[in-house]
């Protein structure tokens, strides 16, 4: 009897709306192995979803004369694989019409509105967000902490790619300013083994809705900064 491929489950912290809860982190957790039995055709379905996401991102980029830019500063990011993860993360965001402007000093972001600081921790206490690979504060909108050692332990062979996708996932929560997840792709709450296969070759992408949410949030911030009224975009 053949053993089924495991599904890797990721849980997500519940992030309540409102000012009293805006410092509650949204965490991305380490996988727990289970064998519920993936249905036949999972890989084929994933390939179709991936192609649709790639085409959606390409179409969006083609309609814009300039990508949106986000300043990202690293704190304690001098670890193997981080530079590679940065490059992969930049490529993934470019497919959604967003350019990441990386800086290696966290101080660069201190006086820049909308900048995001990504801090790397290699020996965080296990009691700090147990099992989490990273966490962010979407409504605070400025800080992400990545647990480097936990990512390395989760899958050493996938280190740069997994780190890139975890970083992209958390940055997207901050850009979208929501705690929701997608049914597929980068913003999925539960990555399966087929998602990891796509991840290895950089083919796990944003859904069209996630791209739309990112740019809706950019438009809302621009309107707010200009003193205009902000209208929330609601998915149909």
Distance, in Å, from the CA atom of 220 to the CA atom of 226, rounded to the nearest integer, reads: 10
Reported pTM: 0.72
Question: According to the model, what pLDDT value does residue 154 have?
Answer: 86
Give me the helix-helix angle, 193-200 and 42-62, nearest 10°.
50
Greatest CA separation for the chain = 65
Domains of the chain, first to last: 7-225 (3.40.390.10)
Distance, in Å, from the CA atom of 124 to the CA atom of 119, rounded to the nearest integer, reads: 12
Closest by Cα among 206, 205, 219 to 177: 219
Distance, in Å, from the CA atom of 217 to the CA atom of 177, rounded to the nearest integer, reads: 7
Instruction: Give residue for tokens 């289970």.
Output: 34
pLDDT < 70 regions, the chain? 1-66, 227-236
């Amino acid at each position: 009897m053949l053993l089924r491929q495991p599904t890797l489950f990721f849980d997500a912290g519940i992030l309540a709306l409102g000012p009293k809860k805006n410092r509650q982190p949204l965490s991305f957790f380490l996988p727990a192995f289970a064998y519920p039995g993936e249905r036949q055709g999972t890989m084929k379905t994933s390939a179709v979803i991936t192609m649709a996401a790639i085409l959606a991102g390409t179409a969006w980029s083609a309609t814009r004369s300039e990508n949106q830019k986000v300043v990202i500063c690293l704190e304690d990011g001098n670890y193997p694989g981080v530079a590679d993860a940065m490059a992969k993360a930049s490529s993934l965001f470019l497919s959604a019409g967003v350019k990441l402007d990386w800086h290696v000093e966290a101080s660069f972001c201190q006086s820049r509105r909308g900048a995001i600081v990504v801090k790397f921790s290699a020996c965080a206490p296990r009691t700090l967000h147990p099992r989490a690979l990273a966490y962010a504060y979407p409504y605070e909108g400025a800080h992400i902490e990545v647990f480097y050692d936990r990512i390395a332990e989760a899958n050493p062979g996938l280190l740069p790619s997994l780190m890139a996708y975890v970083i992209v996932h958390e940055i997207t929560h901050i850009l979208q300013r929501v705690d929701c997840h997608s049914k597929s792709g980068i913003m999925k709450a539960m990555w399966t083994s087929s998602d990891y296969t796509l991840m290895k070759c950089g083919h796990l992408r944003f859904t069209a809705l996630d791209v739309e949410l990112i740019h809706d949030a950019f438009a809302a911030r621009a309107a707010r900064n200009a003193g205009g009224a902000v209208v929330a975009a609601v998915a149909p």
